[in-house]
Amino acid sequence: MAEVVRGTALSRLRAILMTAFVAAFGFIPMAFSHGDGAEIQRPLASVVIGGVITSTLLSTIVLPVLYPWFAGRKSEEPHEVARPELTSS
């Protein structure tokens, strides 16, 4: 189970970090703006950047650590997925 969680976390790490960095860097000009409406833009940008950083840390560090606790160890065999039968009408 630990190997699966580690492998999945590592394979998704690059996509998560790229998405988070692009979103956070996109709001940096807004966070340092001084023009008209900047009193509304700066706090909004700060909240979005903080949220992106927090969600990135949660999804890359906390979630992989917590997953094995909630997954359980009922069986090591893969479960068969129930597929609905397709009926032609």
**Residue 59 is assigned to a structural domain of this protein:** yes
| Contact residues for 42 (Cβ-Cβ < 8 A; gap 6+) | 30, 31, 32, 33
User: Global pTM?
Assistant: 0.63
Q: Has residue 12 been placed in a domain?
A: yes
88 band by pLDDT with thresholds 50, 70 and 90: low
Which residues make Cβ contacts (< 8 Å) with residue 2, sequence separation at least 6? 68
Classify residue 28: in a domain, yes or no: yes
CA–CA separation, 41 and 1 (whole Å): 45
Residue 86 domain-assigned (yes or no): no
Residue 76 lies in a domain: no
Overall number of domains in the chain? 1
Tens digit of each residue's pLDDT (9 = 90 or more) over 4-56: 777 877 888 888 889 999 998 999 998 898 888 888 889 999 999 999 999 99
The 8-class DSSP code of residue 9 comes to H
Q: Measure CA of the first residue to CA of the last residue in the chain; give whole Å.
A: 43
Domain-embedded: residue 15 = yes
71 versus 54: which is more confidently predicted? 54
pLDDT at 47: 94
